[in-house]
Structure 1
Amino acid sequence: MSKKVTIVGAGLVGSLLAALLGKKGFDVQVFERRPDIRKANISAGKSINMACSARGWKALDLVGAGDTVRAAAIAMNGRMMHGVDESLTFQPYGKEGEAIYSISRAGLNQILIDHADQFENVNFNFEHRCLDIDLDTPEASFETKDGIQISHSSDLIFGTDGAFSAVRAVMQRLKHFNYSQEYISHDYKELSIEGKGGEFQMEKHALHIWPRGSHMLIALPNPDGSFTCTLFLPYEGDNSFEKIRSEQEIKAFFESKFPDAIKLIPNLVDLFNENPTSPLVIIRCFPWTYDDKVAIIGDASHAIVPFYGQGMNAGFEDVSILDELMTKYGDDWKVLFEEFQTKRKPDADAIADLALKNFIEMRDLVGQDWFLKRKKIERALYETFPERFVPQYSMVSFTDTPYSEAVRIGNHQDLILDQLAGYEQILEIIDKGELRSFIESNNIIEQ
C-alpha cells in the first residue's frame, strides 16, 4: 500500500481519517490552519452540537474511539416540541432503545485528535494554511503562522478541510469539474441554556425544538447540565437577523415566539449580540478524486445543512466506505477512488435533499395535527411490521441503508401513509390494536 499520506484539515473527518490510516500503518501528516483545539481557547458561538447516530458510531468503533465518545455523549430519544403556549409534546425517534446522541463539536474533535495522535506514525501540524496543491506530484504547499512557506510531498492527499476546502478549490480548476454552492435563506446563531447547579432545566434525553414556521430554535443537552441552543432565522426580511438587533427587539421577539425559552436564558441579549451569525451552505461537486493521488471527502465534497443531523455522520461514513474499499482493492488507489466517488455521490446528493426537506418539516410541520396523525400511523406500522416497514428517519439514523435507497423507500412509504391517513377511523383502529388485520385485509404494505 502507499505509505505516505497528507491530510489537509484536522476537523472531525480529518482526525477520524488520520486515526484509521494511522491504525493501518500509513505515515500520516495532518495539516490544519487553526491552532490546536486541545490547547486554544475555544471561541463560543461557532458550533452546532453534533448528533451522532448509527453511521457515526460505526466509523468511531472502526478506529476504536467509540467508547470514549459514548462516555461524553447524551442519548436523545426523541424530539420535545415546545408550543407558543409553552405546551410540550414528545415525539420518539424510533423504537425503544433507539436514540441519537448529543456531543459538542469541539469535545468530539479533541477526542479524535487525541485518538489519532496516539499513533507514532501520525503527526499533526497546526497553524499551517494550505496555499496550493500540485495534483500530479502530489505535493501540498502551506504557510505557517510565522509566514514561512513549506511544501510536503506524499503518495496520497486527502482534502478534509470543510465546505470552503482549499484542496477542492484547486480541483475546481480542472476541466469538467462540476460545482455548485447554495446558501439557504436562513442563518444561525448559537445561544445557550445553562444548568442550574449542574441540573438540567429541561428534559435531558431529548432534542428540543421550538418550530415557528419561518424561524426555529433547537437545543441539545451537554453533560454539565447546559443545552447548546441554535437559533435559525432568515438573514433578511421580517423577523430576521437583519431586523432584530436592539435589546428591546430581541426580548420582544423571544417573548412572543419562545416564551418558555427566554425564561431559561437570562443573558439572552448578550449572547445574541456577542455570538456570530453564520450562514448555512449546501455544496455539491464532482469528481471527488484526481487520478490515484488526491481525494476530497466530508464537507469538502458534500456539505449539507444540519437539519437531519447527518452532516458529520455522512462524513464519517465516507471513512467507513474508504476502509471497506481498502480491504477490497489494497493499494490500487485509482480503482478504489473511482468506485468510492461513483458509489458515494448519489448518496451524498440524497442526504443533502433529505436535510433540506427535514428543515421544512422541523420548522413548519411538526406541530400540525395532520403531521402528528401521520407520525402516529408511521410509528404503529413500524411496531406492527418491524421487518416490512422501517420509517425513513429510522433507516437514515439507525441503520447504514444507503441514503439514496432510504429516499426511494421513503417515497413509497409516503404513499402508504397518505392512503392510511385518508381513512377516517384509522387512529381508532390503531388504538384498538386492529392495525395488522386492517393492513393485511386491504393488502396495503406490499412492496
Structure 2
Amino acid sequence: MYKIIIVGGGLAGSLAAIYLAQRGHQVHVIEKRGDPLAPPAANADPVASRAIGVSMTVRGIKAVLAAGISKQELDQCGEPIVGMAFSVRGSYKVRELTPLEGLFPLSLDRTAFQRLLNKHAALHQVKYSFEHKCLDVDLDRKTVLVQGPDGVVQQLQGDLIIGADGAHSAVRRAMQAGMRRFEFRQSFFRHGYKTLVLPNAAELGFRKDLLYFFGMDSKGLFAGRAATIPDGSISFAICLPYTGTPSLATLNREAMGEFFARYFGSLPEASRQSLVDQFMALPSNDLINVRSNTFHYKGNVLLLGDSAHATAPFLGQGMNMALEDVYVFVTLLDRHGETPAQVLAEFTRQRKVQADAMQDMAIANYEALSNPNLIFFLQTRYTRYMHKKFPRVYPPDMAEKLYFTSVPYDELKQIQQKQNVWYKLGRVN
C-alpha cells in the first residue's frame, strides 16, 4: 500500500483518488477550493465560479465507468449530445453524429460531476484537505508544503505525489525548478473567453442534444460555443481578442449590444441584454497551451491532465484526456505493481505522444473556427461523402471518431492529415 498525495482535487484528481483508494492505497487530496459537497456559503458569488462548458466524450465516459461509477449516476450530470449546430448568418447548419460504440457524449454540468466524484471518493475513505494551498514540493524527499485557511504551514510526506492542479500547476513548477533539462513551454492564444448563461434554453429555441458553435461568419473576429446543462439553462463560451472593438476589454455597452444583436440576433432582446450585462460584469479567462517534455520525476512525482498538457477547449478534449490519463496510469500500476519508477516512465512514454497529437489537433481546430470560410463546410461535407462512397480508401470522419470512440489521439491526427491530403487531391481533380 502506498501513501499517495494528490495536489488538486478537481475532476482528474478526484477520479485518480477513487481509483487508487479502491486499490487499497492511502490517498490524501490537497485542494485550494472549498468542499463541493458542503452547502454553498450565503455570500458565494455564482458568477465568479463559472467555467467554460465541458463535453464528456466516449473516452472520458469509459474512464469514469471503469472506476465503478454507474452510467445512471453519470447521466444525471449531463445531457446526451447527438449533433453539432453551426450558426451562419442567423441560421443553423446541423450536423448529426452517429454513435459508434453505443455511447453518446454528454454536455456536462461540471459542478454536478465534481460532486459525484467527491461522493464516491468519500465512500472510499479518501481524505481531502479543502482550502489548502500547495506552496512547494520536494521531489526527492516526496514532501508537499501546504498552507491551510488559518495560515498554518505543514509538511506532508508520501510515497508518491501526483500533480493534478491545472495549467498553473505548483507541482510542475517544482519540477521545473528541481529537474535538470526539464523543458516547458507555455503560450497563449490570441483569444480569451467569458462564459455567459441564459435560463430556459428550450424556450429560446435551443435543442438540449446539440452543441452550438458561433462565429463561423465573423471572419475570425470571435468563436463561440454553447451547450445546455441539466438545469435547463444554456452556457455560452464567447472567445474574443484582448484588444479592439469588440474585444474582452470593451466597456462600451452599445458596442457589445451591437455585437450580440449581429451574431445572436435570433435571441429575444431581453436575453441579448442579459448577455451584455453579464459580459460587462465578468472577468475574462485566458486560453493557455502548456507542453512539458516529461510528465514524471523518477518514481516520485507524476503530472496528470492540465498540469501536464493544458490546451484550449476548441477540440473539447482537455477534460477527456485528463480522465483518460487517470485510467492509463492505474492500468499501468496494475500491470507493473510495486515498481512506480517503471510505471511513471511508461506513462510519460505513452501519454506524451497522445498529448502532443491532441494539442496539435486542438490548435488546428481553433484556427479553423476563428478563421473560417465556406471551404470549412465544403471540406466537411466532402470528407463524409467520400468515406461513405469509398470506405476502403478514404479515411473516416475524424469528428465522429473523436466524439464516439477512444481511438488514440495520434491515430486521429493521422486521419485528419489524410483527410486534408485527399481533399486537396479531390479539389485538383
State TM-score, norm by structure 2: 0.91
Q: How far apart are 1:51 and its partner, in Å?
A: 0.5
Partner of 2:31: 32
Q: Does residue 91 of structure 2 align to residue 80 of structure 1? A: no
Q: Aligned residue for 1:257? A: 263
- 104, 108, 115: which one pairs with 2:113? 108
Distance 1:59 1:270, change over 3 A: same
CA distance in 1, matches of 2:35, 2:108: 19
Tell me how far 1:261 sits from its aligned partner. 4.0
In 1, the alpha carbon distance for the partners of 2:407 and 2:262 equals: 41
Residue 5 of structure 2: aligned partner: 6
Q: Contact conserved, 1:34 with 1:126, CA < 8 A, in 2?
A: yes
Deviation at 1:69, TM superposition (A): 1.5
Comparing 65-74 and 261-270, the one that deviates more: 261-270
Contact 1:57–1:66 at 8 Å: present in 2 too? no
Q: Distance in 2 between matches of 1:180 and 1:340?
A: 20
Q: Which amino acid aligns with 2:371?
A: D
2:397 maps to what in 1? 391
User: For the structure 1 residues 98 and 108, does the alpha-carbon distance in structure 2 shift closer, same or farther, using more than 3 Å as the test?
Assistant: closer
Q: Deviations over 1:193-221 (max 9, x none)?
A: 2107x756312211111122220222111
What CA distance in whole angstroms lies between the structure 2 residues aligned with 1:234 and 1:418? 31
Cα deviations across residues 79-101 of structure 1 (Å, max 9, x unaligned)?
A: 212223x1121022446877431
The corresponding residue for 2:69 is: 65
2:317 is equivalent to residue 317 of structure 1:
no
Name the counterpart of 2:123.
118
Aligned counterpart, 1:190: 195
Partner AA of 2:15 in structure 1: L
Distance 1:392 1:316 in 2: 21
1:56 alignment counterpart: 60
Question: Which is greater in Rg?
Answer: 1
Amino acid at match of 1:195: N
d(CA) in 2 for partners of 1:419, 1:93: 26
CA gap of 1:422–1:78, structure 2 versus 1, over 3 A, is: farther
Say if 1:351 and 1:20 are closer, same or farther in 2 by CA, change over 3 A.
same
* Change over 3 Å in CA distance of 1:3–1:385 after alignment to 2: farther
RMSD of the alignment, in Å? 2.0
1:43 pairs with one of 43, 46, 56 = 46
The answer as to whether partners of 1:350 and 1:407 remain within 8 angstroms in 2 is: yes
**How many matched pairs?**
416
Structure 1 residues 224 and 295: alpha-carbon distance in aligned structure 2, compared to 1, 3 A threshold = same
Q: Secondary structure at the match of 1:172?
A: helix
Distance 1:10 1:131 in 2: 16
Local SS of the residue matching 2:188:
strand
What is the alpha-carbon distance in structure 1 between the residues aligned to residue 305 and residue 181 of structure 2?
21
Question: C-alpha deviations, 1:302-331, integer Å up to 9, x for none?
Answer: 001000000000101101111221122112
Q: 1:331 — aligned with what?
A: 338
Compute the displacement of 1:239 (Å). 2.4
Superposed displacement of residue 384, structure 1: 4.5
Once residues 209 and 88 of structure 2 are traced to their aligned partners in structure 1, the CA distance between those partners, rounded to angstroms, is 18
SS in structure 1 at match of 2:407? coil
Q: Residue 283 of structure 1 corresponds to which residue in structure 2?
A: 290
Q: CA deviation at 1:386?
A: 5.7
Q: Name 1:156's counterpart in structure 2.
A: 160
Which of these residues, 212, 235, 238, is aligned with residue 231 of structure 1? Answer: 238
Q: Percent identity at matched positions?
A: 30
User: What are the within-5 Å matches in structure 2 for residues 209-228 of structure 1?
Assistant: 209-211=213-215, 212=218, 213-228=220-235
Aligned 8 A contact 2:58 2:103 in 1: no
| Contact map agreement 1:191 1:268 (CA 8 A) in 2 | yes
- Comparing 198-207 and 154-163, the one that deviates more: 198-207
Taking the aligned partners of 1:385 and 1:61, their CA distance within structure 2 comes to 35
Match of 1:167 among 163, 171, 185: 171
1:139-161: CA deviation from partner (whole Å, max 9, x where unpaired): 11111000111111111110100
Q: Deviations over 1:342-376 (max 9, x none)?
A: 111121011111111111222333xx433322222
The equivalent of 1:206 in structure 2 is: 210
CA contact (8 A) 2:14 2:121 kept: yes
Note if 1:139 corresponds to 2:167.
no
Determine the C-alpha separation between the residues in 2 that align with 1:87 and 1:222. Answer: 22
SS in structure 2 of the partner of residue 25 of structure 1: coil
SS where residue 176 of structure 1 aligns? coil
- Post-superposition, which runs of at least 4 consecutive aligned residues in structure 1 deviate over 4 A? 94-99, 384-388
Partner Cα separation in structure 2 for residue 386 and residue 57 of structure 1: 28
Give the secondary-structure state (helix, strand or coil) at the position aligned to 1:260. coil
In structure 2, relative to structure 1, the CA distance for the partners of 1:76 and 1:146 (3 Å cut) is same
- Paired letter, 1:373: L
3-state DSSP of counterpart to 2:237: strand
- Distance in 1 (CA, whole Å) between partners of 2:37 and 2:389 is 48
State the shift of 1:397 in Å. 2.4
Q: Distance in 2 between matches of 1:369 and 1:166?
A: 43
What is the CA deviation profile of residues 148-196 of structure 1, one whole-angstrom value per residue up to 9, with x for unaligned ones?
1111111111010000111111110121110111011111001112107
Alpha carbons of 1:239 and 1:199: their partners in 2 closer, same or farther (altered >3 Å)?
A: closer
Partner of 2:20: 21
For 1:248, the aligned partner's letter is E
| Deviation for aligned residue 1:401 | 2.0
CA contact (8 A) 2:384 2:396 kept: no
> 2: distance between equivalents of 1:383 and 1:71?
35
